[in-house]
Amino acid sequence: MGQWLKHLVRLVVSAIVLMFISFLIPGFATVTFWTALLAAAVITVLGWLIEVILGRAVSPYARGIVGFLVSAVVIYATKFIVPGMTVTIAGALLAALVIGLVDMFVPTTLR
């Protein structure tokens, strides 16, 4: 039960961050909270798949340039899956930067 709660917290925080980013960053837009929630779910699943296939070191949640670039690619790829979401390459890079900064300061896991 604790694992589900951890993932739920990360999902909701990610959706809120995506909504914030859509107002802050040019080249990145979500239409509604539900679009952001769906995008957060897709980003979470894509991140999990990458982690399973390639290992934790290249996960979007990993630190460093590789994690940052993988995160940007995952965000950019999400636009092809989530209707109503538009992202440019520059928008994906900026969004990955902001998400990385928020992830450093806002705990998304339960302790």
SS3 label, residue 30: coil
**Rounded CA gap, 3 and 23, in Å?**
31
Task: Kindly report the pTM of this predicted structure.
Answer: 0.78
Would you list the domain boundaries of the chain? 2-105
Q: For the chain, 111 residues long, give each residue's pLDDT as a single digit of tens.
A: 566 776 677 778 778 888 888 888 888 887 788 888 999 899 888 877 877 787 766 655 555 777 788 888 988 999 999 998 999 999 999 888 888 787 777 655 543
Q: What are phi and psi of 30, to 5 degrees?
A: -120, 150
Pair 103, 16: CB distance under 8 Å: no
* 79's tokens: 């636009």
How far, CA to CA in Å, does 43 sit from each of 11, 37, 72, 111? 9, 10, 10, 23
